[in-house]
Amino acid sequence: MVLTKMMQLRRVVITGVGMVTSLGLDVPTVWNRLLAGESGVRRLNRFNAELVERYRIPEDFPVIGGAIENFDLKEILQARKKEVTKEDLKQIKYTDRFTQFALAASVEAVHDSGLNLEVEDPERAGVIIASGMGGVSSWEDGVQKLLAEGVRRVSPFLVPKMIPNLAAGNVSIRFKAKGPNIALSTACAAGAHAIGLAYRSIQMGEADLMAAGGTEAAVTILTMTAFYRMGALAMGCNDHPEAASRPFDVKRSGFVMSEGCGILVLEELNHALARNADIYAEIIGFGMTGDAHHITDPDKEGAKRCIQQAMKDGGVTGADIDYVNPHATATPVGDRNETLALKEIFGDRASRLLVSGTKSMTGHLLGAAGAVEGIFCALSIRDGKVPPTINLDDLDPDCAGLDIVTGKARSADIRHVLSNSFGFGGTNAALVFKRYED
C-alpha cells in the first residue's frame, strides 16, 4: 500500500479478544486446550442414520469436523450481563448461527478490553467481520422449505439471516458502533483481511476503535458435500477424528471442516494508553496479494510476495520473526508451497523459525481461521508460548527445513510473529504482530 510521505501513521494495538471454537466457548478455555495439544475435531452427531439414508451419504464421506457443541447465545449473554432483553432475544431468533458466533465472541472481546462504550464517540468505532460462507445453514433450510412446502413457507427473515455482512451489522447495532461497518468474503483469507483492513482504518485515522475478525458456521451437509466432491477434505478418519487434521505430515489428505469465530478489539495506541488498557500486542504489518494463477490450487509466489509485503510494511526482516502461525490446512499442495515460500524468504534462518500448525487441533474455520489464529499469535506474544502441532508423525520431506513445534507447547521469547492466510481464488493475507514496547 502506497502512503504519502507526509502522512503520520498511527500505531495500532490489540486490547481485547473473544473466541468461539470447537475447543471451547471463550478464549481462556481454547488457549489452555490448544497449549495442551488437545483436538476439537470429533464425529458429527448431526450425521445421524436418518440423514445418511436421506442423502445417500457414501461410506467414505468424512462425517467429522470441528463442530461447536452446546452453544447457546442466550446463556453466553446472561453470563456477561444481568438480564437478557427483548432486543437480545430478537437478535437470537432472527440471526443465523454464524452471526450468533460473532455476537458471542464480540461480547467477550469488548468485555475483555475493558472499554466503556457509553463514553466513547460511536462515530469513531467500527466493525469489520468476515465470513467465507455467511448463513449457509439458513440458506439450506430455505431451499428445502421452498421445494417441499412452497413459497409461503420460506421465512421473510431468510435474507437478513444469510447475507455475509449481517454478522458485522448485528455487532455494530449491539455496540452502537457508527464508524466503518463492512464485511469481507475472501474465502479462507477473510479473517486475516478483516484484521488487516481494520488496522489500516485506525492507522490512517478513519477510526479509533475497531472490532475485527471472522466468523463461520458452514459445517452443513451441502457445504461438506461440496468440499468432499472437490476432494478437499481429510479422508479415512471417521474412526479416529482427532487424528484427521495433519499439517505437514506425509499422510495428510485434506482439511477438516470447522466452525467458530474470533474477534479482536483493535485500538489506536494513545487511546488505549489514555485509559490504561492492557495491551496484548501491536499490529505492525499487513500484506495482501493475488496469485492470478488458479481458483483452488495455491501458488507459492503469491504467498511469498504477500509475506514479504507484510514484513516490509512492518519494517522487519527475516532475522526479526520468532514464530510463524502458518495457513497449513493439511492439503498436500498447500502445505508444501507455504513451506517453500518460508524457506526462500528466511533462507538459513528457516531452520530456527518456530512454526506450529494450529489447525491440527482446531480444524479449518474457513473465513474465521485467520482471526482465530491472529488471537493465537497475540496470546503467544503475551505468554511466551508456542502451541504444538499435533498428528505430525511422519514429516513430509517437502515440508522439512522449519522448526515445527511438536509434542507439547514450547516456551520462547517471542517478540515478532507472522500469521499467514490463503484462500480460494488466489487471495492471500499476512499479518505481523509485535510485542508492545514504548
Catalytic residues: 188, 327, 364
- Cα separation, 2 vs 213, whole angstroms: 24
Q: What is the DSSP letter of 395?
A: B
Nearest residue to 142 via CA among 154, 132, 129: 154
Give residue 57's region: left, alpha or beta (phi > 0; psi -120 to 50).
Answer: beta
**Phi, psi of 8, rounded to the nearest 5 degrees:** -90, 105
- In 31-154 the beta strands, taken as DSSP E runs, fall at 42-43, 64-65, 125-130
N- to C-terminal Cα separation, the chain: 26
Nearest residue to 105 via CA among 168, 27, 165, 46: 27
- Cα separation, 220 vs 67, whole angstroms: 10
Q: What is the DSSP letter of 60?
A: T
| 92 CB-contact burial (10 Å; exposed 0-12 / middle 13-18 / buried 19+) | middle
- Sign of the dihedral through C-alpha 18, 438, 126, 114: positive
Q: What is the DSSP letter of 4?
A: -
- Sign of the dihedral through C-alpha 104, 110, 116, 118: negative
Query: Using an 8 Å Cβ cutoff, are 200 and 1 in contact?
Result: yes
